[in-house]
Amino acid sequence: MATEIIKTIKSSGGDYSSLSGFVAGEARDLVTADEIAVAECYTLSGADVAATISGFTADPTRYVKVYTPAAERHDGKWNSSKYRIEGAVQWGGALRVITPHTTIDGLQVRNTSTGSETSALRVDDTADISNNILTIDKVTAGNADSGIFVDGIASGATVRAWNNIIYNCGTGIYYQWASASTFVLYNNTVMNCDQVGINFVGSATLYLKNNICNGNSTDYTLSNLASLTSNNNISEDSSSPDASYRNLAVTFVNEGSYDFHLDSSDTSAIDAGANLSADGQLSFSDDIDGEIRSGTWDIGADELPSGGVTKTVSDTAGGSDAISQLAVGLTMADSGSGSDGFAGMAADLSLSDAGSGSDVIAQLLASLAVLDTGHGDDSQNITVSFTVVDTGTGSDLVNVITDIIKTVTDTGSGIENVQVSPYLAVSDTAQGTEIVGLNVLLSIADTGAGSDALSSIQTVLSVADAGSGQDAVPVISVTVPVVDTAQGLDLIASVNAALQVADSGSGFDIVSASYDGQAKKVVITFKSKKPGISFSGRTAKITFASKKPKITFH
């Protein structure tokens, strides 16, 4: 297997300060060396200059890869604070690929020339082009002023382009009367081009699937091809090769500001695409933002996230941070009469702290709310998860880990089968001294007339303390209120609320644990050097409802 040789492109502290410098310094016979030459591009103090990938000898397993890591990459729209290439190049591209088998992934490229044939990306041989934003700066652009220019490509080459956003060009993707080659164009969004969105005229073999062309003078020009395999390609005019996808205007988040993420109100592209995860020419399963595509795909470069919100925060630095709030919220309101089937709804917040800094976090919040006033018979899985892992040495102050909330309100007459289970886990293996309040709340209110079957209502709060810090935890609580004022006959298979505290650390901790709701078990285990239970006040008692109660000290 070929060895990856990674070189960084950075303003300072990297291997090279420009992509063109990488090419000049690294060009070699990759086949003989059995290597993959990787240019890892970081945000520079300004735009990177134009570059041409050439001078390498490559094959399908030993090639050049130019890409941006996630933190240096655009967020699905042009972002001048991330890595980008801008160059004024006439009769070529601001980025040109001559070396065969090159991969271009996650770049922003703009050609600022006002001359002829000013393309963002010019491709001369076999290449993979994915997750890029491509545009040019011309008030009025001609046919060959392209986002991707592949005219004159080597005979027998294969170019695969997917998840790209191309806008404000003469032609989005341009090929005309060149040598016989193969092109695979999947899930691209091509917008507002003066001439044509996708132009292929000549002896090419073309695979065309899940593309959006809107707002172009002509969306598709396809003729004299060696062969065409086409499905689910949207045009705003009547030029799509797929009759059912003609005359469709796609709704974007902000087309005027070049934000071509799909708006949630769109009815043309969302859930209208083909699943290409097992496609024979090109299989993939994510979008331009790295979102996973599942179920029925959306058409175009963007996949609208469905049924889940995820926020992950990782702290490995030495700084001391002050964070006012970390929040994830997901709300679903159902007032329709349809019977809906949800594979799952999830709100997930994950916080990992391995840094040495002493952090102050005012609030951590994850919430998911479902409001059902419709008549449909719904089936859904609803989960909230919140994980905090602290392995750093800093002494952190977390004022409140609050409202790990799932609220389900049912006022509809439908018959539902629902599983609900919020979950919070806190793992402390660090040496720092923390102050934390923990609260898990699951609330269910049923005022609907339907007869509901809830297979499981479960809420769990788990605290594992193996650190040496001395912690003060003012409140640990689990709450499961279920209010039923409806007329329906409900079947609840199980209600389970669990609070688990395991302390194997050497610190002497102050813990007050309380529970409100319907619980099957509450487990509190102390493994500190000085375990004990103390009472203050005139009245204090411990009441056990189980037949075999016990308190165990280790």
Q: pLDDT category, 395, cuts 50, 70, 90? A: low
When pLDDT is averaged across residues 148-170 and rounded to a whole number, the result is 94
Interval 25-33 mean pLDDT? 98
Confidence band, pLDDT 50/70/90 cuts, at residue 313: low
Mean per-residue pLDDT, 33-46 = 98
Q: Which letter does DSSP use for residue 32 in this model?
A: H
Q: Is the pLDDT of residue 33 over 80?
A: yes
Q: How many residues does the chain have?
A: 554
Amino acid 403: pLDDT: 42
Residue ranges covered by each domain of the chain:
47-55+65-250, 308-526
- The 10s digit of each residue's pLDDT in 481-524 is 665 666 666 656 556 666 666 666 666 565 555 555 555 555 56
**Res. 340: pLDDT tops 80:** no
Q: What angle do CA 247, 273, 286 make, to 5 degrees?
A: 130
Distance CA 188, CA 192 (A): 14
H, E, C per residue of 313-337: EEECCCCCCEECCEEEEEEEEECCC
More confident residue, 546 or 17: 17
More confident residue, 449 or 546: 449
Q: What is the pLDDT of residue 536?
A: 47
102, burial (CB in 10 Å: exposed 0-12, middle 13-18, buried 19+): buried
User: Residue 415: CA atoms inside 13 Å, Cβ hemisphere, count?
Assistant: 6
| Average pLDDT taken over every residue of the chain | 78
Q: Does the structure show a pLDDT above 90 at 342? A: no
pLDDT of residue 552: 59
Among 11-25, 298-312, 319-333, 471-485, top mean pLDDT goes to 11-25
Gyration radius from the chain CA atoms: 29
Q: How many CB atoms lie within 10 A of CB 116?
A: 11
More confidently predicted of 92 and 358: 92
**The pLDDT of residue 49 is above 80:** yes
Q: In the predicted model, is pLDDT for residue 266 greater than 90?
A: yes
Q: Which residues contact 94 (CB under 8 A, 6 or more apart)?
A: 50, 85, 86, 87, 88, 109, 110, 111, 112, 119, 120, 121
Question: Which two three-digit tokens encode residue 38?
Answer: 């990787």
More confident residue, 327 or 35: 35
d(CA 80, CA 7): 23
Name the strand (E) or helix (H) holding 243: none
Question: pTM for the whole thing?
Answer: 0.61
164: Cβ contacts below 8 Å, ≥ 6 apart: 129, 130, 131, 132, 133, 134, 147, 148, 188, 189, 288, 301
Give the per-residue pLDDT at 402. 43
